Structure 1
Amino acid sequence: MNKRIAPYYWMTVPAVILFFVFMTLPALQGIYYSFTNYNGFGQGYDFVGFKNYFNLFQDDNVGNAYWFTFKFAIVVTILTNILSLLIALGLNAKIKIRNFFRGIYFLPNILSVLIVGYIFNYLFSNVFPIWGQNLGINALSTNILGSESLAWIGIVIVAVWQSVALNTILYLAGLQTIPTTLYEASNLDGAGKWREFWSITFPLIAPFFTINMVLAMKNSLMVFDQIVALTNGGPGRATQSISHLIYTGGFEGGEYAYQSANSVIYFIVIAVISILQIRFLQRRETDL
């Protein structure tokens, strides 16, 4: 073996082995068990073919989980990208101590999702209702996490607050690639800020917009930690996401094979949505 090539194998082969053992192999096992009636423990199980997959499309709990997850993912993706882009534009302006503000805005991304979730759970349950009662604001006087119609809004707030950090950094990286001479030329032509944004800024950061949209949607579809910390899927099943349903049903409800089939469908859905997003947004990049 070429001495120059050997180090690359020594660095990549262990990583490939670890990835196969901890990622690929469990995924293949999940696909295998999805065609059985295995309950997650013991040795006995029978092959049932596509029965689990057929039952998924008739399960109301699965349908509700998919509906909640899609609704949550769309709202979080839109809000995250709007807020992060606005913050990035503000931080990119020539203001003092802007590096300090960049660090502050990135702080939520390095905090544990569960810890943040439990902190917000306490705020929604104890702090905000007291503030609402003292200030006479009815909207804050009750714990929204205890309402079937409002609990998902609390999860959205936490998810957006923590997701904005990474997206802001990516947008800032994109803004740094835009030559200042373009803005100088637009000022000479008398273009306003809004015209500058649509004609210069947004077209040139379109690739970063694509990345942020795909990452935000993918992460939102996989929401789990925030739900565990804030509502645990409640009240009732009002905020139960697909990943939470797979976990509780597979590891606590004796539906290991059934939820394995659900996870296979879940993986396909996320992959298809991500691919469609990339193809559509990349096509839009060329049109801008």
Structure 2
Amino acid sequence: MMDKKNTRVYLMMVLPALVLFFSFHTFPLLQGIFYSFTDYRGYGDWNFIGIDNYINVFRDPRILNSYQFTFKFAIVSTVLVNIISLTVALGLNSKVKFHKTLRGIYFMPNILSILIVGFVFKFIFSVFIPEIGQSFGIEGIAKSILGNRDYAWIAIVIVGVWQAAALNVILYLSGLATIPEDLYEASGLDGASKWQQFRHVTFPLIAPFFTINMVLAMKNFLMVFDHVVALTGGGPGRSTQSISLLIYQDGFTGGQFALQSANAVVYFFVIVTISIIQIRFLQKREVQL
């Protein structure tokens, strides 16, 4: 049991953090849910309109388009980042020269600002690559991919995967470090090939890390914002406008504060639902493996 003095010290340490968390997280969250049932535009008067905003979320073609883009981007990026990260981790886990240095180099993208990285890649996609295409007469890359409604999203995938792979590689390396070398030696004596060792030894033992990476990657990619802002700003048109960017643009500058608040609430439940489904499905796979 804590005495009164320790209790006072405990409260003095916890209360400031609790007040800040409530002020900048919980209160805005509750305020957004409240305004989602009104016609508030971000300024002026407002009235209660019930669930009209939630109905309009599923009727607005711009919102549906942003969901389509975001899910396409998140699914493709999640698959690619896990394939690439696991491949790199397996390579770094083997006996290669300077593997510790390479681990540090591969982790660097994770500590860089997303906006700065995005602006650098924007120059590469808009200027550097088109100049190469024009110099060598390669028409396919002579124009910026960022100006193409059909392919601009691919540039965002490239940047997102390049940066996200850094953390995923570290997580996979942590999982690979838990596998005893004796298992590989025993499987090698039994005549198992490298693929058989990966399928029957490596992957089953790092399955929990695979689950973590899949869930975190999907959640982060569904919330994509900075990459889109830096590369395309949601364009051309609204072809690469993610849900987060739509909520920000139309909610704060488009006079649709209440509608986008409802969109944010729906979006929150979508992400939670997808994460729960992923965890349950992948954990069942862990047991089967």
TM superposition score category, shorter chain reference? over 0.9
Deviates more, 1:95-104 or 1:76-85: 95-104
Deviation of 1:235 after TM superposition, in Å, equals 0.4
Residue 34 of structure 1 aligns with an amino acid whose one-letter code is: S
- Paired residue type of 1:40: G
Q: In the alignment, what sits opposite 1:141?
A: 142
TM-score w.r.t. structure 1 length?
0.96
Q: Partners of 1:268 and 1:200 in 2: how far apart?
A: 36
User: 3-state SS of the aligned residue for 2:252?
Assistant: helix
1:21 aligns with 2:23: yes
Aligned partners of 1:99, 1:21: CA distance in 2, in Å? 43
Q: In structure 1, what is the Cα distance between the partners aligned to 2:151 and 2:108? A: 27
CA distance in 2, matches of 1:271, 1:8: 33
Where does residue 171 of structure 1 map in the other structure? 172
Q: Distance in 2 between matches of 1:178 and 1:12?
A: 40
State how 1:84-233 maps to structure 2 within 5 Å.
84-233=85-234
Select between 229-238 and 134-143 the one with higher mean Cα deviation.
134-143
CA deviations 1:225-282 (Å, max 9, x no partner) are 0111111110001001101110000011010011000000000100000011011101
Count of residues in correspondence between the two structures: 287
In structure 1, C-alpha distance between the alignment counterparts of 2:11 and 2:173, rounded to whole Å: 36
Structure 2 residue 56 is the aligned partner of structure 1 residue 55: yes
The residue that corresponds to 2:250 in the other structure is 249
Question: 1:5 offset after TM fit, Å?
Answer: 6.8
Distance 1:276 1:116 in 2: 32
Q: Single out whichever of 9-18 and 112-121 deviates more from structure 2.
A: 9-18
Deviations along 1:36-56, whole A, 9 cap, x unmatched?
0111123x1100000111111
Q: Taking structure 1 as reference, are residues 174 and 13 closer, same or farther at Cα in structure 2, changes over 3 Å only?
A: farther
- CA positional deviation for 1:10: 5.0
Q: Are positions 1:38 and 2:53 aligned together? A: no
Unaligned runs of at least 5 residues, structure 1: none
Provide the alpha-carbon RMSD of the alignment: 1.4
Identity level (%): 62
When normalised by structure 2's length, the TM-score is 0.96
State the partner residue of 1:71.
72
1:82 aligns with 2:70: no
Query: Deviations for 1:103-153, whole angstroms, at most 9, x for unmatched residues?
Result: 110000000000111111111110000112223333221100000001000
Separation in structure 2 between the aligned mates of residue 286 and residue 130 of structure 1, nearest angstrom: 52
- The residue identity in structure 1 corresponding to 2:272 is A
SS in structure 2 at match of 1:90: helix
How far the C-alpha of 1:20 sits from its partner, in A, is 1.9
**Structure 2: distance between partners of 1:21 and 1:89:** 44
Partner of 1:2: 2
Letter in 2 for 1:17: V
Q: Which consecutive residues of structure 2, in runs of 5 or more, have no partner in the other structure? A: none
Runs of 4+ in structure 1 over 6 Å off: none
d(CA) in 1 for partners of 2:280, 2:14: 30
After superposition, the Cα gap between the structure-2 partners of 1:138 and 1:180, relative to the gap in structure 1 and judged at 3 Å, is same
- SS of 1:102 mapped into structure 2: helix
